[in-house]
């Protein structure tokens, strides 16, 4: 049970407070309700590029990192399809520095041309390092546009192509800040060895004076239901054939999400999971195989991906994955197996609550989903799922017309 308090400043900033006096630290996590899905289709990769620019100095503080390091703090951030999340930890005695730093960059950035020029280059190198100069690195660049035809999930957080990042202008940077970086579009969590009254005082002092703005209404195109299976075959210079098979599923906030999460655990979480036992150990068709949910706030994907052993035919591999997934449609789960994955979820939730930064991040994310207290209800949400629930969800979503497959094959010369 993660206890917390919640209050909202006059300018719309939501603040969540969680006390943990077992740590000598304080964490501040600020989630901005903006991600790659909010980008213009011709200007993709922008939310992530913008995350880099948030470290390029704010209106009154020329360098974000230095003052934080000076007080013994550390920070990082990430961007995904839905959110941009900034977090820092610092010694509890120096917690006010976090309020000072984060409020200034919520107020306004320095917008220096040099920062834009350099971070553009840094992000292009990141694009190469993570997506282009890696075996299988471009899988998601291929898979997402195959799965999504109109919804912005069709591009990756890094962007569709390097040219979009090359072409970003300072005017766009400023517009983006104006639209998305303001109190009403943020959720702040302060957690750790600090008192509520102190958090209230410093929140008012540093964040209170930031002008309020209206939250931009999100109006994204809805991905139409897919009725015919989609398939893409590519050849690359890689040492093993691999397959990615996906099905469109629900939103993160839908009840069925938990069902898919358990199905993915049943399939591949741990050495007693179904796919590992049958396809890796018994039949030796795959050297590795994984099932997972994308967990997106809009309709997401359920994905099974694996690398094939040399002797395996790619179509046989796909049939085996289909059989394993469609088994949830045709057969009801045994109680014992269901209990196993529920126990695992309970354990994972408990272990993730041992870390104050994890708790802060989770509280912010669940608040965005609707209510931070959902974090405390998760264990029960999973515990109450029945075998019938899972079968019904599987029937609704696991159909061949709703599937996407990517065959990622070795170049012929190498085969």
Partner 1 sequence: MSINRLQAPDYTANFSFPAIAPEQHLLANQVPLFVINAGSQALCKIEMVFNAGNYYETNALVANATNALMREGTSNKTAGEIAEILDYYGAFLETAVYKDKASVILYSLNKHLHKTLPVMLDLIQHAIFPEKELTLYKTNQKQKFLVNQQKVDFVARNHFNAMLFKDTPYDQFIEADNYDNLSQAQLQAFFKDRYSGNGMYVVIAGNISSDVLNQVKEATLALNLKTELAAKPYQNNFLGRQELLIEKKDAMQSAIRIGRRLFNKNHPDYFGMQILNTILGGYFGSRLMSNIREDKGYTYGIGSGVASLLHDGFFYISTEVGVDVTAATLTEIYKEIEILQQNKVAEDELNLVKNYLLGTFLRSVDGPFAMSDKFTSIKDYGLTNEFYKAYVNYIKQAKAEDLTLLAQKYLNKKDLSELVVGKI
Touching partner 1, residues 105-124 (CB under 8 A):
107, 117-124
DSSP state of 129: I
Residue placing its CB nearer to partner 1 in the complex, 122 or 234: 122
Residue placing its CB nearer to partner 1 in the complex, 269 or 402: 269
Residue placing its CB nearer to partner 1 in the complex, 53 or 301: 53
Least spacing, CB of residue 93 vs partner 1, in Å: 5
Residue placing its CB nearer to partner 1 in the complex, 287 or 399: 287
Task: Report the C-alpha gap between 409 and 236 in whole angstroms.
Answer: 6
Phi, psi at residue 406, to the nearest 5°?
-120, 120
Residue 318 · residue 245 · CB < 8 Å: yes
Residue placing its CB nearer to partner 1 in the complex, 85 or 241: 241
C-alpha dist (Å) from residue 124 to 158, 181, 186, 339: 9, 24, 28, 46
Residue placing its CB nearer to partner 1 in the complex, 61 or 374: 61
Residue in 175, 166, 145 with CA at minimum distance from that of residue 45: 166
Q: How many CB atoms lie within 10 A of CB 384?
A: 10
Task: Report the C-alpha gap between 72 and 336 in whole angstroms.
Answer: 49
Least spacing, CB of residue 230 vs partner 1, in Å: 26
Residue in 319, 335, 316 with CA at minimum distance from that of residue 327: 319
Residue placing its CB nearer to partner 1 in the complex, 212 or 272: 272
Residue in 132, 120, 203, 122 with CA at minimum distance from that of residue 168: 120
Axis-axis angle for helices 356-369, 335-352 (nearest 10): 110
Residue 343 binding partner 1, by CB under 8 A: yes
344 to 403, contacts with partner 1 by CB under 8 A? Answer: 344-348, 350-351, 353-356
60 to 99, contacts with partner 1 by CB under 8 A? Answer: 60-61, 65-67, 69-74, 89-91, 93-94, 96-97, 99
183 to 222, contacts with partner 1 by CB under 8 A? Answer: 204-206, 208-209
Least spacing, CB of residue 23 vs partner 1, in Å: 5
Q: Give kind and range of the element (H or E) at residue 388.
A: helix 387-397
Task: Report the C-alpha gap between 307 and 11 in whole angstroms.
Answer: 51
Least spacing, CB of residue 149 vs partner 1, in Å: 29
- Sole window of 100-108, 178-186, 212-220, 378-386 interacting with partner 1 (rule: CB under 8 A): 100-108
Which residue in 277, 315, 388, 401 binds partner 1 (CB under 8 A)? 277
Least spacing, CB of residue 322 vs partner 1, in Å: 23
121 to 140, contacts with partner 1 by CB under 8 A? Answer: 121-126, 128-130, 132-136
Number of residues engaging partner 1 in binding (CB under 8 A): 83
Report the greatest alpha carbon distance in the chain. 68
């Amino acid at each position: 049970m993660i206890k917390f308090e919640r209050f909202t400043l006059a300018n719309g900033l939501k603040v969540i407070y969680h006390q943990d006096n077992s740590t000598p630290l304080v964490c501040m996590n600020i989630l901005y309700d903006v991600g790659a899905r909010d980008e213009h289709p011709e200007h993709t990769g922008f939310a992530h590029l913008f995350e880099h620019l948030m470290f390029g100095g704010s209106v009154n503080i020329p360098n974000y990192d230095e003052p934080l390091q000076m007080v013994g703090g550390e920070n990082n951030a990430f961007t995904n399809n839905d959110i941009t999340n900034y977090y820092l930890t610092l010694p509890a005695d120096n917690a006010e520095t976090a309020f000072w730093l984060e409020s200034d960059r919520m107020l306004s950035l320095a917008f220096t041309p040099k920062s834009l020029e350099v971070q553009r280059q840094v992000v292009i190198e990141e694009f190469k390092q993570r997506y282009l100069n890696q075996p299988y690195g471009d899988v998601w660049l291929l898979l997402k546009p195959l799965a999504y035809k109109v919804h912005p999930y069709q591009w990756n957080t890094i962007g569709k192509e390097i040219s979009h990042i090359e072409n970003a202008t300072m005017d766009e940077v400023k517009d983006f800040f104006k639209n998305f970086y303001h109190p009403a579009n943020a959720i702040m969590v302060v957690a750790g060895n600090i008192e509520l009254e102190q958090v209230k005082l410093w929140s008012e002092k540093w964040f209170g004076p930031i002008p309020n703005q209206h939250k931009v209404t999100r109006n994204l195109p809805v991905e139409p239901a897919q009725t015919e299976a989609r398939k893409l075959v590519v050849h690359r210079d890689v040492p093993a054939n691999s397959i990615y098979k996906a099905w469109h599923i629900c939103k993160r906030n839908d009840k069925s999400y938990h069902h898919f999460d358990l199905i993915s655990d049943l399939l591949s979480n741990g050495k007693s999971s179904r796919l590992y036992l049958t396809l890796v150990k018994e039949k030796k068709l795959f050297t590795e195989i994984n099932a997972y949910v994308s967990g997106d706030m809009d309709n997401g994907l359920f994905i099974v991906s694996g690398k094939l052993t040399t002797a395996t035919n790619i179509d046989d591999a796909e049939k085996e994955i289909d059989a394993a997934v469609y088994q949830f449609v045709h057969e009801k789960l045994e109680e014992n197996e269901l209990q196993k994955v529920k126990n695992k979820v309970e354990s994972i939730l408990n272990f993730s609550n041992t870390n104050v930064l994890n708790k802060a991040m989770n509280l912010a994310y669940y608040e965005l989903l609707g209510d931070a207290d959902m974090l405390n209800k998760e264990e029960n949400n999973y515990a109450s799922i029945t075998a019938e629930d899972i079968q019904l969800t599987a029937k609704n979503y696991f159909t061949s017309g709703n599937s996407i497959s990517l065959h990622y094959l070795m170049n012929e010369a190498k085969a």
